[in-house]
Structure 1
Amino acid sequence: MNNSLDFDLNRVSELTIKELKNKCSNLELKQELISVIKVLKKDSRKGVQKIAAKLERKIAKKEAIVTKWEKMQQLEKEYSQKGYQVIIGIDEAGRGPLAGPVVAAAVLLDPQNKIYGLDDSKKLNLTKRENLFKQIKAKAKVGIGQATSSEIDKYNIREATFTAMKRAVKDLLPKLQKQPDLLLIDGNAVIPGLTVEQESIIDGDAKVNNIAAASIIAKVSRDKLIYKYAEEFPEYNLESNKGYGTAEHIAALKKYGSTPIHRKSFARVPD
C-alpha cells in the first residue's frame, strides 16, 4: 500500500502485536503515519489500539513542538517585517553562584534551519540541553564571552555580566556577514556602551527562540568550565552544585576557605 513502509498495511492483521510494535517504533513523522494509524485503529486487538494511540501522541508532541517554535519566533518575525535583518539573542548563565565566571552567549539563528525544542535552559534536562547545544553550534552563529570571578569582585556582578555579554557579541561579529541591527537581551536591562539597537525582554529565554538558544549555549559552556574547576578543587563538589551556595558548598567554604575562583565580594564567601 505504501512503498516507504517495511510492511504492507493491507496485511496488518497477519502480524503479531510484537511485530507491529517493532515496525512502528521508528516510523518518522510523515503523512504516511496518519494512514498507519487509521489502519491500526480498525484492528480490534487492544494491543494494536495501544500502538495507534502511542503514534497519535507522537504526532501531537511533534505538533506542539512546532507550534512552540512558531510562537517563540513571532517577535523576531515582527522585527524582520519592519526591516531588521540581523537579530541577535543574548543571555547569560552564572549570576548567582559563589564560584566561577559568569558566561554569556550571543546567537544568530537561521529561521530556515529550525531547531525544535528551544527553551529556557533551566527547564531542560541535561540530555536535552546538550543535544540542543550541539544543534545550535552546528546550525547557528554563536559568540561566547565570560567575566571571571576576579572581575565580578572588581566591578560587581551586574557590570561583570554586561562585560561578558559585550565579549559574546564581539566574539560573534567576525562570524557574521552583516553587522547586527538589533540585540534581544534576556532580562530587564540593555547592555550599556553599545551603539546597536537593543530590547530587553523579561523571561526572554522562555519567549524568544534566539534568546533561548543563547541561554543553552551560556549554560552548557559554563558547566564545561565548572567541570574543569571541579577537578582542580574537588573539596567543593562543584560538579554537582555548579558553584551555587548549597549547604554542602557553604560547609566546604567554612572548612577549607575560598579558592581563586570564588567570588570574595559575595557575602557567604570568606576572604
Structure 2
Amino acid sequence: MALDTQHGIPVARTIADLRGEVNAWRKESLTVGFVPTMGALHEGHVSLVEAAKAACDRVVVSIFVNPTQFAPGEDFEAYPRTEAADAEKLKDKAALIFAPNAAEMYAPDFSTTVTVMEVTKDLEGAARPTHFAGVATVVAKLLLAVLPDKAIFGQKDYQQLLTIKRMVRDLNIPVEIVGGPTLREEDGLAMSSRNAYLSPDERKVAGKLNVILRETAHAVAKGAPIPAATEAGIAALMEAGFASVDYLEIRNAETLDPFPSGKPDAPARILVAARIGKTRLIDNMPVE
C-alpha cells in the first residue's frame, strides 16, 4: 500500500508501510524520533515534535485514538479526531505520520496485555483501573513498530511517563524515553485536547487548577505537613467551582510512593485530577 499524501505530509496507515519508511531511513544511517499522540494536536504536542526533531534526523508522529485505554462511559467516541488539522501543524516538523485504524493495531482475537505494576497502583491507576494496561499495551506496540532511537512523552501525563519508562526498562525495549515539559495557556492551565470540552464559564474555573496546585506545593515546600496542605488544596478546588477531585497528592517523584512521615524526604511531585462538569483535568508539577 502506498503512503497517503492527501494532507501534504506522508501518512502510513499500516505497520508494514511505517516500517518500510523507517527502514529506508536506517539504511541512510539516519536517527529516528517518535512522538505518540491521540491527535487533536495543540502547541504542547508540537513542542514534543520539535524536541524530537532537534534530537533526531527524522520524526514519526502517531495519531491513534486507542480504544483500550478508555473505560466504558469515558469519552472515546467524543474524543476529537482532527487528522487534517493535525497534519497541517506537523508540516516541516515530522517526516511521517502513522495513523492506523483499530483493526490494524488489534487483531479480532487480540489477547495480549502489558501490565506495569507498582507505579500504576494508585492515583490515575485507582481512578481509572484499566487505563494504564491499555496505555502500556499500545505504547509497547507502537515502540516495536517504529523502533525509534528516542520517544518523547509530555510530563503533563506524569504517571504515564513513569509507567512507560518502567516498561521500556523492564522489557529491554531499545528506546530512550524522554520527558518533555508541560506547555501552559496564559493563565497557566496545562494544554490538553480535552480543554476543548470546557464551556466559557468552566474554562475560567479551570484556570485556577494550576494556581491552587502551585500554592499547595509551595506550602509543603515551606514546611506544612502534606496531609494538611493537600486537604486544604482539595477544599480550595471545590470552593473554586470544581465538581469533584479524584485525587490531589504529593508523592515521591521517582516512584510515586507516598511520604509516610508527612514530609517530603526526597524529590517530590504534586499531582491532581479534578472534574468540571463532564470534563476531567489532570496536572502536576515539582515541589520545590
TM-score normalised to the size of structure 1? Answer: 0.31
Q: Which has the larger radius of gyration?
A: 1
Higher relative contact order (CA 8 A, sep 6+): 1
Pick the structure with more helix per residue: 1
* Greater fraction of residues in strand: 2
